[in-house]
Chains A and B, each alone.
Chain A
């Protein structure tokens, strides 16, 4: 057990820091991650597209990958350093996450040669992807999805509905999970298709969320024809792909969220100073409690990542999603309280501080639901880690 990083890792950190500090556009520094998703009317800002491409071209998009895929063959620990340096500066990395974080690793592992050719553009952000997973009756019970794809000789015909599909309104391709064998047990009858979003029969209806924005959508499929060669992996073998690859990237993402959580606690300290709460013992103690939470979760994230990097399984990661998303909500809530009576006012003429914290509080609601709700996470911890009996 020791704190020090290796000389190579320190050199990696220094090179990255220089790159970020000299090459990132001014808009990127301090950019609020929550704002990096496009709303209904807007397109992804040009500077963000250019920045993602620049990260890719310089080997700083996914450092663990080889140069032709936007990386530099770095170690898992260096991936952790990378994510931490980005989040410290609140610098965004990508126009949208599904392309580089889900589509690229899945195609690299399960795609055929033709499909693998789609990977560089997915990572560079040149192609926008959405993921067709959730359905109205398949949220926490993801394997219960019902969108149907019938196979005829050389093509599938897709019918059904997806929901909560992020970026669907601007995506050109959908990574879509469909039921290809309705008679099989539910995990075994699912396949993965690549669907071009301009195929006739696809209807995208943006969903406005509590924040007033619309960055996800319902997607309706009516007799949508998809060429057979767009099947990824085996027919009826889609469930395995959902279980994911690029584990260290995902492991690192929890370190990334907890690092952002810690930055938000520091923002609370600044907020308390501006709002005159810096001498209020109650406010001070409550902020310190949040710091304890963030700092201990950071240690837990490091611990899990370190054992993962040495090839051991890391049960710590099962705790991180639930813990960081719940903690995030609590931290933003405290920010609102420090704003006082104007906390819920979003009128910029009455102070820009106020709308900011309520906005992030509302945004944080999604994190304890999406990607497996906190309740599902507790079930997983209880049954898979603690070994408690299923009902």
Chain B
């Protein structure tokens, strides 16, 4: 049992942090709202990390936390994190181009209910970054997997609060393609990994919201003193810090269970996603409260991260859905 980062993980974190600080300022997020091509330079940098998608989950989570911290736009999550391991599980020829970053893939799973579980429905929702994808990896009941070129389907944008991660609806009913069987074990491993990794990203976004609130509390003065000297603000920030720390630890633990294929893996992954959802929600609400009116304006950057945090909380299952799955496990 070892929760400390290896030297390689420290290096990965520092490298990613420095790269994102330089390449993904909030001005880029704003530019990206109206111009999708704004992310072209950032994508070139992130591409170099595509191999992490099918590597150790504990390494991948280190990277994703940094991505979440800047709410980085682009298809890395859809392609390397979600599609990569599925292509790997079925030994698909597109695996190599996707994990080298040459090709972009995304996954289509959720049907009309929005649940990310294999199903027979032909209209798929929440297909991330489909506009940038070369390949769509469709997960269907069985479970089985089909991989189709993006140009064979017609992604229709779904409007969402989070402009940094566009989602689409596609109809895969008429597309003919080879179907690969996926074992139940492979599906569960993919699912637990995906829950853990998005939780890592959400922890990063929550940490950004927390850091912004903490910094503001130290500099903003009222009654001639920093508002951070008031006990009401101190206690709010202490509670936020606790929510964030336990989400961080839950994600790290879950990533270790994923890497070890441990028996506690599924529970740990649900705990991680739920704890990250709780932390992100609290940091959004209380982050605004601590900022006061200024935090509620379009001009302030806070909303960029609140939007990402909110959308992510509902991706791959809302917090309450993860609690219900945990209950199923506890009562089985």
Please give the residue numbers on chain A whose beta carbons come within 8 Å of chain B beta carbons, in ascending order. Answer: 1-5, 77, 265-266, 269, 272-273, 278, 281, 284-285, 287-289, 291-293, 295-300, 302-303, 306-307, 310, 312, 316, 319, 322-323, 375, 377-379, 381-383, 385-391
Contact = CB atoms under 8 A, between A and B. Distances in A.
Given A285-B324, A381-B241, A4 B249 contact: no
Interface in B198-216: 214
B228 interface: yes
Contact of A300 (B218, B226, B249, B330): B249
Top-7 shortest CB links A-B: A382-B234, A299-B253, A284-B327, A299-B249, A296-B250, A378-B238, A300-B249
Contacts of B242: 319, 322-323, 381
Given A3-B262, A288-B326, A378-B238, A389 B218 contact: yes
A375 B214 CA distance: 19
Contacts of B260: 2-4
Given A299-B246, A302-B253, A291 B1 contact: no
B331 A269 contact: yes
Given A292-B323, A295-B267, A382-B238, A5 B1 contact: yes
Given A4-B1, A302-B1, A389-B228, A297 B246 contact: yes
Contact of B274 (A1, A281, A292, A316): A292
A306 to B, nearest CB: 4
B324 A388 contact: no
Which of A1, A266, A284, A307 has its CB near the most chain B CB atoms (within 10 A)? A1
A288 B323 contact: yes
B234 A378 contact: yes
A299 B331 CA distance: 22
B259 A2 contact: yes
A7 to B, nearest CB: 13
Contacts of A269: 330-331
Given A296-B249, A381-B242, A1 B256 contact: yes
Contact of B326 (A292, A298, A312): A292
B253 to A, nearest CB: 4
Contacts of A285: 320, 323-324, 327
A310 B260 CA distance: 22
Nearest to B257: A3
B231 A379 contact: yes
B250 A299 contact: yes
30 contacts: A1-B5, A1-B58, A3-B256, A269-B330, A272-B331, A273-B331, A281-B324, A288-B330, A289-B323, A291-B326, A291-B330, A292-B271, A292-B322, A296-B272, A296-B275, A298-B253, A300-B249, A302-B249, A303-B249, A306-B1, A306-B3, A319-B242, A323-B242, A375-B235, A379-B238, A381-B241, A381-B242, A388-B229, A389-B225, A389-B226
Given A292-B275, A381-B241, A386 B246 contact: no
B4 interface: yes
Contact of B237 (A289, A291, A303, A386): A386
B301 interface: no
Nearest to B265: A3
A287 B2 contact: no
Could you say which interface size class chain B belongs to? 35 or more
A1 B218 contact: no
A253 B29 CA distance: 45
Q: Which secondary structure dominates where chain A touches chain B?
A: helix
A3 to B, nearest CB: 4
Interface in B260-276: 260, 262, 267-268, 270-272, 274-275
A270 to B, nearest CB: 10
B249 A316 contact: yes
B106 interface: no
Nearest to B214: A386
B252 interface: yes
Given A288-B330, A386-B237, A2 B271 contact: no
A291 B233 CA distance: 28
A2 B252 CA distance: 9
A272 B327 CA distance: 11
A300 B324 contact: no
A251 B113 CA distance: 45
B329 to A, nearest CB: 9
Given A2-B256, A2-B260, A322-B242, A388 B9 contact: no
Interface string B308-332: 0000000000001011101100110
Nearest to A387: B218
B72 interface: no
Contact of A306 (B2, B262, B320, B327): B2
Contact of A296 (B4, B234, B247): B247
B27 interface: no
Nearest to A289: B323
Given A1-B252, A299-B246, A77 B1 contact: yes
A385 B241 contact: yes
A216 B253 CA distance: 39
B96 to A, nearest CB: 27
Contacts of B218: 387-389
Contacts of B250: 292, 295-296, 299-300
A306 B249 CA distance: 12
Contacts of B320: 285
B279 to A, nearest CB: 9
B231 to A, nearest CB: 7
A30 B326 CA distance: 25
A278 B331 contact: yes
B246 A302 contact: no
Given A295-B250, A299-B250, A319-B245, 14 more contacts: A2-B1, A3-B1, A3-B256, A272-B331, A291-B271, A291-B330, A295-B268, A299-B246, A299-B253, A300-B249, A303-B252, A306-B2, A323-B246, A389-B225
Nearest to A375: B235
Contact of A389 (B1, B229, B252): B229
Contacts of A300: 245-246, 249-250
